[in-house]
Amino acid sequence: MNTGKSVLLIIGGGVAAYKALLLIRLLKTAGVGVRAVLTAGGAQFVTPLSVGALSGEKVFTDLFDLTDEAEMGHIQLSRAADLVVVAPATADLMAKMAAGLADDLATTLLLATDKDVLIAPAMNVRMWDHAATQANLATLRARGVTVVGPDEGDMACGEYGPGRLAEPEAIFAAIEAALAPRLSDLAGKRIVVTSGPTHEPIDPVRYIANRSSGKQGQAVASALAARGAEVVLVSGPVRLVAPAGVETRKIETAREMLDATLAALPADAVVCAAAVADYRVDGAAEHKLKKADGAGRSLTLVENPDILATVSALPEGQRPRLVVGFAAETQEVIAYAQAKRTRKGCDWIVANDVSQGVFGGDENAVTLIDAKGAEDWPRMGKDAVAEKLAGRIAAALA
Ligand code: C5P
């Protein structure tokens, strides 16, 4: 797929460095060139010989001598690739990147590059949680660095938590997305995206809500806009900054979301990524409800309109050509999602297992379900899921 593209892979020090070897294999198999740099720490865990054998290229280390410098200077090495990838990115490397230090080959290249940078951090959970690392992470993100992982799980040091290097497949998927040509294959198409939770009032100060962060929906809106689509984002209350290049219409309740979505039509496609409350309180109180000591209280709930089903059922001529829903399931994901696709009448369902901490997180493992079957995508960042989905939408609307 990406034949002709190449990455500069900086391998930092850490037990997870062996996964960089698997990543090199995935990249080479996909036709992506890999030129690797080993930090002094990285060279303690994997040898230049194994990295060189897999990449098929000379491996650069701090021992990089003057002959190399004459053949290929630091600046050229830092700019010859299409993307710079740091995997594993240690706490130390992240700190040096954030501070702009350049005291070895890897950090010099990172400071000298004019290419996009993608990092896959790996470190002890306490190091990851430390305010210094989190501040460095925020700095790097703000500068446009793409961050993949870390995953949560058992660590080589015996502790449990976030800090494991993301799986090579996930890093590969993020690289694939980063290397994808900037397309305008959705130019002239209008797409409506619903996102975030809804808030259903109980009284003027209380409401029923859910844990949706809106990250996946906003990522989809951004990815569609990046390909040239005219995007209307109908968003429930979220803590995110509205994405650039997208027209955002803020709503609170499911009924408002339905009205705003229908008002945004006609469109070529609608993507319903919102976590809409299935029920609202029947006759929300006009004034704040008072506590009645000792007595319980019941709320009567009535069903909300289903936006996805309503849009899917629009008559021909009004129905968007492509209607995509999301399905958050905690068990039998594919079977329930298939049933949901048929019941709601949409074309595709993006199904995910939310028992694995997807809500609020930055990663998602989804299955794309259409009339023909189901396709599992590897666990990847929500941005990468969005880009891949945008690519499929572009192909379907072409
Ligand atoms: O039935 P469930 O809520 O799991 O269906 C999820 C899909 O349906 C999502 O795409 C969601 O945005 C959409 N939905 C909707 N309106 C509702 C409930 C769900 O558009 N009232």
Query: What was the pLDDT predicted at 158?
Result: 77
Looking only at the bridges linking them, the beta strands covering 269-272 and 200-203 are unpaired
Q: Report which residue type is found at 296.
A: G
**Looking at the DSSP assignment, which residues form a beta bridge with residue 9?**
36, 85
pLDDT tens, residue by residue, 51-60? 999 999 999 9
- Which of 75, 138, 157, 205 is catalytic? The answer is 157
- Ligand 1, atom nearest to 273 Cα: 12
pLDDT tens, residue by residue, 40-82? 999 999 999 999 999 999 999 875 654 565 556 777 888 889 9
Pocket test for ligand 1, best of 198, 340, 344 (most atoms within 8 A of CB): 344
Which of 87, 89, 94 is closest to 132 using CA atoms?
Answer: 94
Task: Check if 346 is active-site.
Answer: no
Q: What is the distance between the alpha carbons of residues 10 and 72, in angstroms, rounded to a whole number?
A: 17
Query: What was the pLDDT predicted at 72?
Result: 62
Cβ contact 105:60 at 8 Å: yes
Q: What is the distance between the alpha carbons of residues 53 and 4, in angstroms, rounded to a whole number?
A: 20
Q: What is the distance between the alpha carbons of residues 181 and 189, in angstroms, rounded to a whole number?
A: 19
Span from the CA of 309 to the centroid of ligand 1 (angstroms): 8
**Looking at the DSSP assignment, which residues form a beta bridge with residue 270?**
192, 323
Cβ contact 355:348 at 8 Å: no
- Ligand 1, atom nearest to 324 Cα: 10
Quickly list DSSP for 104-152. SHHHHHHHH--SEEEEEE---HHHHHSHHHHHHHHHHHHTT-EE--PEE
SS3 324: strand
Question: Which residues of the chain are modeled with pLDDT < 70?
Answer: 1-3, 63-72, 356-361
Query: What was the pLDDT predicted at 63?
Result: 59
Query: Does 83 sit in the ligand 1 pocket, CB within 6 Å?
Result: no
**Tokens encoding 397:** 């609307």
Q: What is the distance between the alpha carbons of residues 26 and 19, in angstroms, rounded to a whole number?
A: 11
- Ligand 1, atom nearest to 308 Cα: 20
Q: What is the distance between the alpha carbons of residues 189 and 252, in angstroms, rounded to a whole number?
A: 27
Nearest CA to ligand 1 atom 21: 306
pLDDT tens, residue by residue, 132-148? 999 999 999 988 899 99
Cβ contact 215:233 at 8 Å: no
Span from the CA of 204 to the centroid of ligand 1 (angstroms): 25
Pocket test for ligand 1, best of 307, 353, 389 (most atoms within 8 A of CB): 307
Cβ contact 266:318 at 8 Å: yes
Span from the CA of 150 to the centroid of ligand 1 (angstroms): 30
- Ligand 1, atom nearest to 349 Cα: 10
Query: Does 326 sit in the ligand 1 pocket, CB within 6 Å?
Result: yes
- Ligand 1, atom nearest to 304 Cα: 21
Query: Does 128 sit in the ligand 1 pocket, CB within 6 Å?
Result: no
Cβ atoms within 10 Å of 1's Cβ, excluding its own: 9
pTM exceeding the 0.85 threshold for the entire prediction: no
**Tokens encoding 318:** 């009004």
Pocket test for ligand 1, best of 276, 302, 311, 352 (most atoms within 8 A of CB): 276
Residues 6+ apart with CB under 8 A from 143: none
